[in-house]
Amino acid sequence: MSAPLLARTPRLRETPFSRRVEAAGAKGYTVYNHMLLPGAFRSLEEDYAHLKSAVQVWDVSVERQIEIVGPDALRLVQMTTPRDLARMADDQCYYVPAVDEAGRMLNDPVLLKLAEDRYWVSIADSDLMLYYKGLANGFRLNVSIFEPDVSPLAVQGPMANELIGRVFGPDIVATRFFRHKRVPVEGRDMVIARSGWSVQGGFEIYLEGSEHGEALWDRLFEAGADLDVQAGSPNLIERIEGGLLSYGSDITRTHTPFEAGLGRFCHLDTATACLGHAALLEQRDPIRKVRPLEIGGDPLQPSSRFWTLSSLSGEAVGHISSAVWSPDFQANIAIGTVGRAHWHAGTELVAETPMGDRPVCVRDSFWA
Ligand code: THG
């Protein structure tokens, strides 16, 4: 018997949906927040075409929630982000850069406001809870911080409205982008938001209570049988087309939000309580930036490491962090970090790929 590709121990956590995901034929997994995140179910390209034409259910339990509750909850969250939270509504979700005192990216979570004194931070792949706990103790804040038994299940694709309407009723379909509502799910009120890591539109159901996971999964698949609902997962092709950045790849701990292209979420005039505020004031004009790139030549295999980017004169000017062939755009689409002198749309560069050197052109916008 050959050794499994991923040695399974309790450290590598399963999700409430893992048995259903396995039965649906997950072809592989990645590890995200010490947990299993399924990859493709058919092929990357088949999953992509289906996501853009039908509806998929994604086990994104790896988007762990950090609950911050108590009189100082807002103060603590605002210390970690330059996005101004003062006018956030009780039913709102915000995409927020989370930064350290030097203004460097610690994570790029979705923040959910559940009440004036209660938030969920829906994290990307880094142990952000440890930072909150350190700050709360160091500043003697009156909050409690923990990882609740909450596991998001995303419903994404053009038929997501239809499927969610059938299962949870028309009220939830009326929810606006990045707003949430409490809806009865498996006999208990749970949060459903119009959000998700695709640009096809859809919802995220924040399952509360792992024991209800399989019943929720089965209900969605029964109700959506005639819609050709399938198991899916965040799709590399679709998310590069849409310009959704991946923390750990496209954005790293060395990037500032300005370098990551998230300057629109930095409200430095008002969010002065952010611990990175002074540092960010000095970094508003970055010397490098995350940019959309098109790579010439035959279809490329997805990148598993950074590819060096050089100018036409051979000087290293950045790197590509994500790249894949897009069937719909008939091009190799990519995301990279590029130095200031070379980041303008139309600039021609060279990428060192495992399939040899390739011409690269900086684009002015993402594809979708
Ligand atoms: N959903 C939830 N949690 C998450 C993710 C998610 N945590 C990790 C990761 N994904 C966080 N990253 C992103 C990145 C982009 C978006 C959401 C999460 C996104 N951005 C929109 C855009 O850029 O157009 C809208 C941003 C806005 O206007 O606020 O949707 O997917 N629960």
Residue 178 lies in a domain: yes
Question: How many whole angstroms from 123 Cα to the centroid of ligand 1?
Answer: 10
Ligand 1 centroid – CA 235 distance (Å): 14
Pairwise CA distance, residues 195 & 73, whole Å: 23
196 lines ligand 1 (CB under 6 A): yes
In a domain, 122, yes or no: yes
Residue 170 lies in a domain: yes
Q: Are residues 69 and 181 in the same domain?
A: no
CA atoms within 13 A on the CB side of 184: 2
160 and 107 within one domain: no
Q: Are 271 and 280 in contact (CB under 8 A)?
A: no
* CA 229 to ligand 1 center in whole angstroms: 23
Q: What are phi and psi of 50, to 5 degrees?
A: -70, -40
Looking at 146, 179, 211, which one is the last position of a domain?
A: 146
User: Looking up tokens 């399989």, which residue turns up?
Assistant: 214
> 293: which DSSP letter?
E
CA of 2 to the centre of ligand 1 (A): 38
Please say whether the beta carbons of 12 and 31 come within 8 A: yes
The SS3 assignment for 232 reads strand
For residue 348, the domain's CATH number is: 2.40.30.110
Burial 319-347 (b: 16+ CB within 10 A, else e): bbbbbbbbeeeebbbbbbbbbeebbeeeb
Rounded to the nearest 10 degrees, how much is the dihedral formed by the CA atoms of 47, 52, 58, 63?
A: 110
Residue 243 token pair: 């310009």
Q: Convert the pLDDT of each residue in 202-237 to its tens digit.
A: 999 999 999 999 999 999 999 999 999 999 999 999
Distance, in Å, from the CA atom of 250 to the CA atom of 261, rounded to the nearest integer, reads: 11
Q: Is the CB of 63 under 6 A from ligand 1?
A: yes
Are 102 and 125 part of one and the same domain? Answer: yes
Is 245 inside a domain boundary? no
Q: In this structure, what CATH number is given to the domain that contains residue 92?
A: 3.30.70.1400
Same domain, 138 and 158: no
Q: Which residue's structure tokens are 């209900």?
A: 219
The pLDDT score that the predictor gives to residue 2 is: 64
In this structure, the answer to whether residues 39 and 163 fall within a common structural domain is: yes
Within 298-341, where are the H helices?
none
Q: Is residue 193 one of the residues assigned to a domain? A: yes
Which amino acid, one-letter code, is at 340?
R
Let me know whether 121 and 230 are in one domain. no
- CA-wise closest residue to 345 among 326, 330, 364, 322: 364
On whether both 155 and 57 belong to a single domain, the answer is yes
Rg (CA), the chain: 21
Q: Which of 127, 146, 165 is the last residue of a domain?
A: 146
Q: Write down the pLDDT at residue 304.
A: 87
Give CA 155 to chain center in angstroms: 14
Cβ(72)–Cβ(132) below 8 Å: no
User: CA separation (Å) from 99 to 257, 279, 354?
Assistant: 8, 10, 33
Please give the Cα distance from 198 to 209 (Å, whole number). Answer: 25
Examine the fold and report which residue of 114, 146, 178 is the final residue of a domain before the chain moves on.
Answer: 146
Alpha helix (H) ranges present in the chain?
Answer: 18-23, 44-51, 73-79, 128-138, 160-168, 170-173, 213-223, 236-242, 277-281
Query: Ligand 1: does its nearest atom lie under 6 Å from the Cβ of 197?
Result: yes
| Closest atom, ligand 1, to C-alpha of 242 | 24
Which residue lies with its CA nearest to atom 9 of ligand 1? Answer: 124
| 49 plus 127 within the same structural domain | no
124 lines ligand 1 (CB under 6 A): yes
Q: Tell me the torsion sign for CA atoms 74, 78, 83, 87.
A: positive
Q: How many angstroms does the Cα of residue 228 sit away from the middle of ligand 1?
A: 26
Check whether residue 156 and residue 38 sit in a common domain. yes
Q: Are 120 and 156 part of one and the same domain?
A: no
For position 45, which CATH number holds? 3.30.1360.120
- What are the tens digits of pLDDT across the range 54-85? 999 999 999 999 999 999 999 999 999 999 99
Contact (Cβ atoms closer than 8 angstroms) between residue 199 and residue 367:
no
Q: What ligand 1 atom has the least distance to the C-alpha of 265?
A: 29
CB 361 within 8 A of CB 347: yes
Query: Total domain count for the chain?
Result: 3
Determine, yes or no, domain membership for 37.
Answer: yes
Residue 269 lies in a domain: no
Cα angle vertex 202, ends 113, 61, to 5°? 65
Clarify whether residues 154 and 234 are in a common domain.
yes
Does residue 112 sit in the same domain as residue 159?
Answer: no
Residue 288 pLDDT: 98
Rounded to whole angstroms, the Cα distance separating 41 from 44 reads 8
Report the nearest-CA residue for atom 11 of ligand 1. Answer: 109
Q: Which residues of the chain have pLDDT under 70?
A: 1-3
In a domain, 98, yes or no: yes
Q: Are strands 56-59 and 65-69 parallel, antiparallel or unpaired?
A: unpaired
Residue 93 Cβ inside 6 Å of ligand 1? The answer reads no
| Domain of 303, in residue numbers | 287-368
